[in-house]
Amino acid sequence: MNFNHIFEILKNFSNHSIMVVGDLMLDEWILGKVERISPEAPIPVVEVEGESFTPGGGANVANNFKALGSEVKLVGVVGKDEAGERLCNILQKEGIDIRGVFVDPSRPTTHKVRVIAHSQQVVRIDKESKSPVSEELNKKMIDFLKENLSEVESVVVSDYAKGVVGENFINVLKREAKKAGVKVVAGPKPKGIFFFQGIYLIILNLQEASLALNQEIDLNNLQKSGENLLKELNIDALIITLGKDGLSAFTKESFFFMPPFTSQVYDVTGAGDTVLAVAVNSLLSGANCEEAAFIANCAAGEVVRKLGTATINVQGIRKALESLNGVSTSRLYKSKVLFY
């Protein structure tokens, strides 16, 4: 790995233009302490000491891009409720363009409430609808896509299977992006993964990849499974995150396996969103798939050290990479050239 070249890539991270489409969420964090068990049931009583709100889902992907210095147009749906209003306010304060975020009074904003005590998650409460958005809202999103596609370098789809991204929208996106010469990248759920056939890059975690192939994937069959999924999806590149085991990347010519860059995992919430944003920004900044996966793996290693839905900026990535500079390449990743 040529670290000088990696640092040159980081210099080009700012001022990219991205459109993020997908399921938008509000993450709420209630922080407290537990000193007793409830007399009403055998459950801990959490004494609240504070709370915070952060963008989640596709909104977190957009926030990650913004933290890296990109200009972001966000497309999605929120409910006509306090959570939707709060989420939009947070995104606007971050400088994210939310003209493509539409309000649906018939559905709630996806809202995830996590109760944390002594650095441990006690319970998570989800408020959401998984029903498909109306044809009217789907048309509004498609119209926004068509009107703004010429202004962006890449469209990133963050699909959490909450009903916002449907087959019709994806088909239109693929057709219009091809006309405009814009690369499409997706982090889909397995249920609709084959709607994304033929796009540039897909990023999945190990469980999602296993469900997509309908077989259990582990480190022993990872390479063959990844190759098969790459072919079935007819995509240029595939990244499979492996949790505590790191990250793997596949192209039509190569396979790369990269162990984790941290031994301290504090909270994995949103780490996949960081991988998605950093990998895309790396590719737009001149990286090849191997280099993009390497930088994204390094960034994810920093994000999981933080509590909550975290982001990382270029300075944070640079600092993390500087700590690895000089480490033997064989300890950082393994690669194999594939011949088809």
Q: What residues are paired with 76 via a beta bridge?
A: 101
pLDDT at residue 158 tops 90: yes
267 an active-site residue? no
Angstrom distance (rounded) from CA 187 to CA 276: 7
pLDDT tens by residue, 2-19: 888 899 999 999 889 999
Q: Which two tokens stand for residue 236?
A: 């240029």
Residue 94 DSSP one-character state = T
pLDDT tens by residue, 89-144: 999 999 999 999 999 999 999 999 999 998 889 999 999 999 999 999 999 999 99
Q: Tell me if residue 265 falls in helix, strand or coil.
A: coil
- The three-state DSSP-derived secondary structure of 153-210 is CEEEEECCCCCCCCHHHHHHHHHHHHHHCCEEEEECCHHHHHHHCCCCEEEEEHHHHH
Q: CA dist 37 to 42, 44, 47, Å?
A: 6, 4, 11
Q: Tell me if residue 20 falls in helix, strand or coil.
A: strand
Give all domains of the chain, ordered by start, each with its CATH number: 3-337 (3.40.1190.20)
28-40: average pLDDT: 95
282-288: average pLDDT: 94
CB 70 within 8 A of CB 153: no
Angstrom distance (rounded) from CA 111 to CA 128: 6
Confidence class for position 211, pLDDT limits 50, 70, 90: very high
Confidence class for position 328, pLDDT limits 50, 70, 90: very low
Angstrom distance (rounded) from CA 188 to CA 177: 17
**Residue scoring higher pLDDT (301 or 50):** 50
In the chain, the amino acid numbered 128 is: E
pLDDT tens by residue, 227-266: 999 999 999 999 999 887 888 999 988 998 888 765 454 5
Q: CA dist 50 to 33, 53, 117, 227, 303, Å?
A: 10, 11, 11, 46, 21
Render the burial of 148-184: b for 16+ CB within 10 Å, e for the rest.
bbeebbbbbbbbbebbbbbeebbebbbebbeeeebbb
Would you state the pLDDT for residue 168? 95
pLDDT at residue 181 tops 50: yes
CB 182 within 8 A of CB 146: no
Q: What region, left, alpha or beta, does residue 57 occupy, with left being phi > 0 and alpha being psi -120 to 50 degrees?
A: left
Catalytic residue among 23, 27, 97, 273: 273
Q: What residues are paired with 44 via a beta bridge?
A: 37
Would you state the pLDDT for residue 323? 80
Angstrom distance (rounded) from CA 177 to CA 85: 30
Would you state the pLDDT for residue 86? 98
Q: Tell me if residue 26 falls in helix, strand or coil.
A: strand
Mean pLDDT rounded to a whole number for the chain: 90
Would you state the pLDDT for residue 169? 96
Q: CA dist 130 to 88, 146, 214, Å?
A: 20, 25, 22
Residues above pLDDT 70, as percent of the chain: 90
pLDDT at residue 331 tops 50: no
Would you state the pLDDT for residue 300? 84
Rounded to two decimals, the pTM is 0.90
Q: Tell me if residue 304 falls in helix, strand or coil.
A: coil
